[in-house]
């Protein structure tokens, strides 16, 4: 339906944007690409009195890559990630996951910061942030703070972001060249939200054993999280077929997926096992 | 801060200025304020692709953009694809391949395909299908649409000798 009425401001600086949000006293919301937020308004799930459009705020659209990893500005769009040749080696898992986000037109406007703030449990960017131990930089009236992605998401569409704070960037730690990885998700139609998805990466030791296993889940959860039980099955072991199956069944047991009209909880649980088996098999090849 | 805002942008090559409530989507601004009804509005929440327009060269859903966010931009709608009454090569291929029936989705299909082929004239059928997956058509079954877009590549600089 039509959007609810609101006032609108497009401040020219980050400080002004934060001041407007603070003055809004919980009734002001930031707008980035709008590809999640405008549908939220269209469904009347939110009716803010003021929208603070970040389109004129400079300096949030950069992708910086150095020895410390990848820094994505909050206004980096999905297509910017797909088009960036450097990321093919600097963070191939990020690029592979983001390739699943929505459709062509939405990828031209949807942003990293918007997706993180929206916190859909099935969204790829929050999942990658958690699976890769990312740090989120939040700017507020009292300055900036850095929050680990694992602590940022508190539930479906819920985060620790205060009403007067903005995400300015997300920092993904450096990606070793020898790292093994895979991303798998299942959606009913291409570009739809995933019923379940898994992101996997680990660093093999000299004997080919798994170290530093990271397994993250989206979709089959109320917020993206790592699956410690499945990681523990793999660490120190060779990722052979038996070990992969053991990790997959541990993951299925550990997740607590919601059921809805798109898929039951049991179905999502089974998907996690299947997707993780596929991902680990591909990562080990 | 205001609930009603003057907004200026370039629409199909000519400057326009409108004053609209902030909550007005670009799609509604085009249709109701600028009377350019070629852009169709289907789902109004970014799923169907019927309202696709081209903003600064990129295909976007005009129902997922506020009109005021287009301030200063160059906007192309289906009306702007052709300078006169004649069909563009892409439109001619749609006609030739029977790539439309009821026509509701067609403006979004044309703008999306135009943006794609402008950027990627060598797009193969798989890429065309992937891009058009964001546009819903309830009549055609898509095959004719994909074929029409594929056939139009030559008009956008596709070189059959270079690309496989």
| Mean per-residue pLDDT of chain B | 95
What CA dihedral angle connects B56, B62, B64 and B68, to 10 degrees? 70
**Closest-CA distance of chain B to residue A21, Å:** 12
**Burial group, residue A232, by CB count within 10 angstroms (0-12, 13-18, 19+):** middle
pLDDT for A259 equals 95
The answer on pLDDT for A54 being more than 80 is yes
Q: Which residues pair with A204 in a beta bridge?
A: A210
Give the tens place of pLDDT for each residue, A239-270.
999 999 999 999 999 999 999 999 999 999 99
Q: Closest Cα to residue A182, out of A69, A80, A281?
A: A281
- Give Cα separations from B68 to A18, A97, B28, B62 (angstroms): 20, 32, 12, 12
When pLDDT is cut at 50, 70 and 90, the band that residue B5 belongs to is: confident
Q: In 3D, which of B62, B63, B65 has the Cα closest to residue B115?
A: B62
CA A123 – CA A98 distance, rounded (Å) = 9
Q: What is the mean pLDDT of chain A?
A: 97
Residues of B in contact with A104 (CB under 8 A): 59, 112, 116, 130-131, 133-134
| Average pLDDT over every residue of B93-120 | 97
Hey, what are B8's tokens? 């200026």
Q: Is the pLDDT of residue B163 over 70?
A: no
CA A133 to chain centre: 11
- Measured between beta carbons, the chain B residues lying within 8 angstroms of A43 are 45
Angle formed by the axes of helices B106-119 and B89-96, nearest 10°? 130
Mean pLDDT computed over B28-52? 97
A56-108 confidence digits (pLDDT tens) = 999 999 999 999 999 999 999 999 999 999 999 999 999 999 999 999 999 99
- Interacting residues of A187 by C-beta distance below 8 A, sequence separation 6+: A100, A193, A194, A195
A chain contacts of residue B44, beta-carbon cutoff 8 Å: 1-2, 42
Interface check for B44 against chain A (CB to CB < 8 A): the answer is: yes
Percentage with pLDDT > 90 across chain A? 98
Degrees, nearest 5: CA angle A185-A189-A191: 70
Give yes or no for B128 touching A (CB within 8 A).
no
Residues 73-102 of B with CB under 8 A from A: none
Q: Does residue A199 carry a pLDDT above 70?
A: yes
User: Distance between CA A32 and CA A35 in Å, rounded?
Assistant: 8
Question: Is B5 within 8 Å of A8 when comparing Cβ atoms?
Answer: yes
Can you tell me the mean pLDDT for B121-142? 96
* C-alpha to C-alpha distances, A146 to A53, A65, A160, B33, nearest whole angstrom: 23, 19, 11, 44
Q: Are A128 and A167 in contact (CB under 8 A)?
A: no
Compare A191 and A155 and report the one with higher pLDDT: A155
Q: What confidence tens digit (pLDDT) does each residue in B63-74 have?
A: 999 999 999 999
Contact criterion met (CB < 8 Å) for B1 and A7:
yes
A106 — phi, psi (to 5°)?
-70, -35
Is B60 in CB contact (< 8 Å) with chain A? yes
Task: Kindly list the distances between the CA atom of residue A230 and the CA atoms of A141, A216, A254, in Å, as whole numbers in the listed order.
Answer: 40, 10, 8
Check CB contact of B126 with chain A, cutoff 8 Å.
Answer: no
Which residues in A156-175 are b (16+ Cβ under 10 Å) and which e?
A: ebebebeebbbbbbbbbeeb
Which residues of chain A make contact with B42, given a CB cutoff of 8 A? none
Q: Do B40 and B104 contact (CB within 8 A), yes or no?
A: yes
Q: What pLDDT score was predicted for residue A208?
A: 96
């Amino acid at each position: 339906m039509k959007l609810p009425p609101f006032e609108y401001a497009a401040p020219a600086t980050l400080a002004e944007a934060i001041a407007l949000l603070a003055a809004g006293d919980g009734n002001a919301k930031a707008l980035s690409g709008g590809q999640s937020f405008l549908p939220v308004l269209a469904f009347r799930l939110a009716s803010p009195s003021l929208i603070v459009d970040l389109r004129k705020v400079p300096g949030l659209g950069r992708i910086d890559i150095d020895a410390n990893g990848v820094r994505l500005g909050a206004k980096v769009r999905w297509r910017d990630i797909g088009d960036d040749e450097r990321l093919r080696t600097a963070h191939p898992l990020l690029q592979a996951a983001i390739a699943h986000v929505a459709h062509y037109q939405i990828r031209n406007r949807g942003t990293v910061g918007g997706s993180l703030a929206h916190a859909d449990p099935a969204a790829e960017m929050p999942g990658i942030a958690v699976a890769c131990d990312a740090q989120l930089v939040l700017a507020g009236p009292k300055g900036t703070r850095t929050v680990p992605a694992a602590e940022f998401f508190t539930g479906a569409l819920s985060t620790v972001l205060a009403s007067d704070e903005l995400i300015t960037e997300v920092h993904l730690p450096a990606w070793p060249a020898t790292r093994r990885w895979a991303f798998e998700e299942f959606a009913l139609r291409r570009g739809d939200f995933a019923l379940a998805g898994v992101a996997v990466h680990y660093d093999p030791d000299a004997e080919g054993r798994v170290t530093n296993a990271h397994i993250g889940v989206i979709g089959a959860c109320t917020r993206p999280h790592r699956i410690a039980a499945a990681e523990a099955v793999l660490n120190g072991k060779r990722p052979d077929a038996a070990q992969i199956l053991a990790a997959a069944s541990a993951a299925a047991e550990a997740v607590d997926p919601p059921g809805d009209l798109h898929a039951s909880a049991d179905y999502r649980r089974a998907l996690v096992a299947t997707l993780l088996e596929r991902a680990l098999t591909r990562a080990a090849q | 801060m205001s609930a009603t805002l003057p907004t200026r942008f370039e629409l199909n090559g000519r400057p326009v200025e409108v004053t609209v409530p902030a909550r007005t989507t670009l799609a509604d601004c085009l249709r109701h304020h600028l009377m350019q009804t070629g852009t169709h509005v289907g789902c109004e929440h970014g799923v169907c692709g019927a309202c696709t327009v081209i903003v600064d060269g990129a295909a976007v859903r005009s129902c997922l953009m506020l009109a005021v966010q287009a301030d200063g931009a160059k906007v192309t709608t289906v009306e702007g694809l052709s300078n006169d009454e004649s069909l563009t090569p892409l439109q001619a291929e749609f006609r030739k391949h029977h790539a439309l029936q009821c026509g509701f989705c067609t403006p979004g299909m044309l703008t999306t395909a135009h943006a794609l082929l402008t950027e990627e004239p060598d797009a193969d059928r798989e890429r065309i299908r992937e891009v058009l997956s964001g546009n819903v058509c309830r009549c055609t079954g898509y095959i004719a649409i994909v074929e029409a877009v594929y056939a139009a590549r030559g008009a956008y600089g596709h070189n059959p000798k270079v690309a496989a």
